[in-house]
Every structure is written in structure tokens, then in C-alpha cells.
Chain A
Amino acid sequence: MSSRDKILETIAANQPELVALPTIDLDTVIRYDDNYTQFKTILESIGGKVELIQNLSIVDDQINIEKANGQLIINMINETDKQIVSLTSFELEKLEKVYIKGSLGVAENGAVWVYESQMHNRLLPFICQHLILVIEKKDIVATLHHAYEKIDVTKEGFGIFIAGPSKTADIEQSLVIGAHGARSTTVYVVG
């Protein structure tokens, strides 16, 4: 018998009698008066930056200035720089900033959901030195329960919740921002 069949057979023989799944009643989970304020407070407490903007023109101007300064910047907000995401990991290592549009924000933990199609290359949000995410204010939900109601994890090959910059406290529990991934994460909230 293959290991697969042997394992599954033993599990079937040893597992206890079927018990029911709980009903998850969303009326019992936390709500916030203002999801945006909660989102900002939490994300800033874990090392992220949040800015409320009226429209994307500020971001566009910023990108133009940065590009003019010769920095390696990838703008994925309107798929502007779609052609350069085929760069190798060696080339992408020089990447200074990436601008990506996220699907939604989560007030309770400061996380932003990003689909693979929004980053085009799975490596982008990690390998860049600085990550800039853009979400709509109306797309900030209270908790992860609400977030999973809105997203579909099977829709694409990859998706991720990103909450703040890469960090570690592995040396004597001292918090250091910028472990392997982005050294900073800024979220522009449009609305």
C-alpha cells in the first residue's frame, strides 16, 4: 500500500466521531465607529504610514519626480510599468519603490489585501526597498471576517495581506524594521 493510502486509512480509523462546525455570527465581532481612523491608528502602531488623499494626482506627481531623479520605480497602480515586471530577481534587487493598488484594508489590524494581478510579479512587494499601497477609503472593512467575505482567494494564483513593513525582533527582542522585505510601507487612502 502507498504511504498515501496507509496514512489516510489510519486517519479514517483513528479520527473521532464527526462533530459539527461552529456558526460564526458576525454580529458578535467588534465594529468601529470609523474604520479609517482605526486602520490608521493600528497600522501606525506597527510601523506603517497612512495618508488620506483626495485623488491620485499627488501620487502621480510624486512618481514623476522620483523617476526624473533616476530612481528605479515601478508604478503598478494603472499598470503603467507592466512591461518591466519581467525583470530578473537580480535586477529587481535594485528596486527602490513600488506603487501597488490594493483591494481592501482591514481596520482591526492595518492589513491590505493585494491580488497577484495587482502586483503582476509576486516578488515586487517584498523585494522593493519601499512599498506604497493605495486603497479606497470605502474599502476599509472592520475585521478579517468581513475581509474574507469580500475577497476570493481562489480567483488568482496568489494573494496576500500586508500589514506594515518587514520586521524582526530576533536579536534580543529589539524591534528592527526592514528585515528582508520592504523597509517601509505607506498606504495612501483615497477618499
Chain B
Amino acid sequence: MMETTHSKLAEKFIADEPRTDWHDETLWLVREKRDKAAHGLPEWEQLREWGSQIKNHSLSNFSVYLKEFEEKATANGIQIHWAANAEEHNQIIHKIIEKHKIQKIVKSKSMLTEECHLNEYLEKKGVEVVDTDLGERIVQFRKEPPSHIVLPAIHLKKQDVSETFHQHLNTEKGNNDPQYLTEAARQHLRNKFIESDLSITGVNFAIAETGGFVICTNEGNADMGSHTAAVHIACMGFEKIIPKAAHLAVFLRLLARSATGQPITTYSSHFQKPRKGQEIHIVIVDNGRSRQLGREDFRNSLKCIRCAACFNTCPVYRRSGGHSYHTSTAGPIGSILNPNLDMKANADLPFASTLCGSCTNVCPVKINIHEQLWKWRQEIVKQGYVDTSKKISMKGMAFLFSHPLLYRFTGKMARWIMCTFPFMVNNKLNVWYKQREMPKAPKESFTDWYKNNKKNTK
């Protein structure tokens, strides 16, 4: 059915076993840093609860808060634009670029502009955008999408970056020192910053009460761009709205600790008004979000603050890599956001999970991610978007489980086959044999063991 399903793409990723192990272990290390930071605050669970409740409240009052935000921001001299979908978002930005005849554009990390494929859109119009987050610059050189929303180049090793920089920045061939490579990027991007005419950024939080917005980075790239360029365009999904400035305390305490285990990002920039002679535009984007808000089972996904804690903890993400999710936002949260954008194209994603629930446990705003994954599976099956083999095997299982006699007979046959003719299951035709050994079948079923055991203890 689908050409690029998660399982097919993951197969490519795990072909390199040492690299898969490295990816797995490195992300787990980030998860452990998160734990350490969280445990440093006795009120951590209370903070999560506050974060969750503030977001629940915002969800229930978006229409009021968005109008309030628009009014306040406009009064502060910021220009507000509304985009119903990705196309309109891209058009608005292109219009501003054309109006000012802008040539030099720098962009800091914004998953929304990835979701809208802004760079490709502008490229087709002959406009070049320089991504300035180091990880994003690396993948941009390589013409790859980011594989993680916080660590865009986490799928790469330093020798890959060295090779890419040698090609594009003329760095010394074979010099894999991260310090040296980062310094080269610093020099290259500082030149881009100081000559930039337009800075495009994302938004971490937009505050209804003040009309201001906050951007968090560690590198300082959003600031280097925005405070240099004459025009700043900040792009946000409407769910970034929070009611009050005091709520920033809750979210800034949660965000970096959940993301990387830092107590706060290096820079938490609060934009309130344009500086003298500067224009600030905000593009507020829907692109399916209002539809998701109407789905009772899935609306909680709009609480997400994009920390990626669910990525780092996910056993499937860690062992399959971000590109296997074939969408701009990978990982567990992506798997509940993307079916809303295109259910058919992303029908495989809610199945790329073990439903272990670790994502839900680490989520700083308490999104019930694993439950939503399970609910999307049901929705997708109902809409007929699963492939035939899964449909047949599910139907077969359902039949088997509802006929106890047949179930016991089949179990007996399977055990006998696995013991007597192991090659019948240990072969390439069995997808469960791929990358793993089949278990040794027990001699008797649990039912038989229980019956015999009960007899013995009597």
C-alpha cells in the first residue's frame, strides 16, 4: 500500500547496527539527563500538573485568547497575519519578502515552517533561506529533513558532519573535532547574520495578556538574526497561546529540563515591540489544528510544547530514527499529530509504537500520548487505511481468540511445530524472525501447566 512506511524506512536505518546502538544509547542518555533535572525539583509532578491544567484551560478558551493576543500585539506595533493552511502561510511570507525586495534571509528553528515546507516553497520562487541552528544547517547542506525536533542532526556522526562541512565550508578533510567544526559554522553563520535583511523564527510561547512572545534557544541564533534584520517574521501554530506572562514560569521550568536536562535554555527572549525602524510580523497558522481541537480523543495533542522528551524515551524512536517517520515531526507526538494532517499518508505511524506508555509518563504537560496512539489505530482501521495483511491477521486473531477450543488446538500445533521443525518458523517468510531469534517453545501450555500444578499441590 504505502511505499514509505515506518517499518520499511526503519529497516534501512537499522541495517547499520553499531550506529543504531549509538543512536539508541545517546538518546537514552538525554532521557537520563531529563530525569536528573526533574528529580532536582521536589515539586516536579506539581509543575507538570500546572502545565497540563494551564494548557487545558487555554484549549478551552483559544478563541478568546487569540483575539486578545491579536489586539494587544497590534497595539504594540506588531503586524498579525492569519493562515488557514500551509499554502497560505508560505504565501504570506513570500509577499512580505517581495514587498521589501529582500535577498538575505536567515531562519532559526521552527517546526511549523518544516510542516509547511516553507524552504522548498521559497526556493521554487528563487528565494534562498539559510537555516541557522547548527543541526539544521548541517541537514540543510545535506538536503535532508531534521530527524528530531530538538536535535535535528542526531542521526549523523561527527565524520558525516566533517565530510559535509569539508564540501560546503571548505574545512580540513578528516578533521572530526566537534569544537573545530562548530567554530567553522560559527564563522560562516555570523557572516550570514550580519548581512541578513529578514529573520524568520518560530515561537515557543505567545502571551494573550501582553501580546508578546517568547523564543528559546541555546545557540543564540534566533536573537542574532532577529536583532540584525530589518524585518522579523515569527511563525506560530495557534496552540502556542498561553493566558498570562506569569505562566511562562511554569513552562520555562518544564521545557528545557524535559528536553535536554538543562535548568533553562541559554536564551529565553521576550519580544514585546519592534525595535526602532524594525517590522515584526506574526503569522498565526491553523493547518488542521482547529479540526484536531474538535476531535475529543485527540485534542490534547495540541498541548504539546515541543520538548521531545517523548522521542528520547521511546524504544521505537530510539531504534528506528526520525527519518523513518517520514514527516516533519517524528516520534510519539508526531504519530498522533500527523494522522490529523493526512490520515491515509500517515496511517502507519500510530502502529510504530509498543504502547509502553513511557511517552505519557515523561510528557511535561501530561498528554496521554500512548492512549491516543491506540485510539488512532482504531480510527485508522475504521476508515480502512490499514494494509490487507494486517487486516487479515487481525481478523484471524479475533476469530481465534473468540473460539477457545480452536485456540488451544492451534497453540498445541504451534508448539509442536516450533519444537519439532524449528526451521518452519525460523525463516525469512516469518517477519517476526527478522532481527531476532524465535523463542524456544515450551512443552506445555500455561493452561496445562496450571492444571497439572494444581493437581500436584493438592
State which of B42, B63, B248 has its C-beta within 8 Å of the C-beta of A15.
Answer: B63
B262 adjacent to chain A (CB < 8 Å): yes
The minimal Cβ–Cβ distance linking B338 to chain A, given in whole angstroms, is 19
The minimal Cβ–Cβ distance linking A135 to chain B, given in whole angstroms, is 16
Produce 1/0 per residue, B283-315, CB < 8 A to A.
Answer: 010100011011010010000000000000000
Contact: A3 with B268, CB < 8 Å? no
A80 adjacent to chain B (CB < 8 Å): no
B67 contact set on A, CB distance < 8 A: 8
Pick 16 A–B contacts, CB within 8 A, sort by A. A3-B82, A11-B66, A11-B290, A30-B41, A90-B194, A109-B264, A153-B207, A153-B212, A157-B271, A160-B268, A166-B218, A168-B182, A170-B151, A170-B153, A178-B182, A179-B218
Contact: B43 with A30, CB < 8 Å? yes
A154 to B284, CA, bound (A): 21
A14 adjacent to chain B (CB < 8 Å): yes
A13 to B293, CA, bound (A): 9
B212 contact set on A, CB distance < 8 A: 153-154
B57 contact set on A, CB distance < 8 A: 18-22
B163 adjacent to chain A (CB < 8 Å): no
Q: Which residue of A lies closest to B183 (CB)?
A: A178
Contact: B56 with A19, CB < 8 Å? yes
Interface residues contributed by chain B, number (CB under 8 Å): 93
B34 adjacent to chain A (CB < 8 Å): no
A156 adjacent to chain B (CB < 8 Å): yes
The minimal Cβ–Cβ distance linking A107 to chain B, given in whole angstroms, is 10
Q: Is the interface of A mostly helix, strand, loop or mixed?
A: loop
Q: Which residue of A lies closest to B66 (CB)?
A: A8
* Best-buried of A6, A92, A111, A144 by chain B (most CB within 10 Å): A144
Contact: B299 with A172, CB < 8 Å? no
Which range contains the number of A residues in contact with the other chain? 35 or more
A49 adjacent to chain B (CB < 8 Å): no
Contact: B182 with A10, CB < 8 Å? no
A29 adjacent to chain B (CB < 8 Å): yes
Which of A58-66, A67-75, A96-104, A122-130 forms part of the interface with chain B? Answer: A122-130
5 nearest A-B residue pairs (beta carbon): A181-B220, A14-B294, A109-B263, A170-B135, A157-B273
A3 contact set on B, CB distance < 8 A: 82-84, 88, 286
A176 adjacent to chain B (CB < 8 Å): yes
B351 adjacent to chain A (CB < 8 Å): no
B343 adjacent to chain A (CB < 8 Å): no
A171 to B185, CA, bound (A): 11
Contact: A12 with B245, CB < 8 Å? no
Contact: A172 with B228, CB < 8 Å? no
A12 contact set on B, CB distance < 8 A: 63
B410 adjacent to chain A (CB < 8 Å): no
Contact: B264 with A111, CB < 8 Å? yes
Given A3-B83, A126-B220, the answer on whether A174 and B178 have CB atoms closer than 8 Å is: yes
Contact: B50 with A7, CB < 8 Å? no
The minimal Cβ–Cβ distance linking A118 to chain B, given in whole angstroms, is 13
Contact: B272 with A126, CB < 8 Å? no
B221 contact set on A, CB distance < 8 A: 179-180
State which of A22, A42, A123, A127 has its C-beta within 8 Å of the C-beta of B53.
Answer: A22
A46 adjacent to chain B (CB < 8 Å): yes
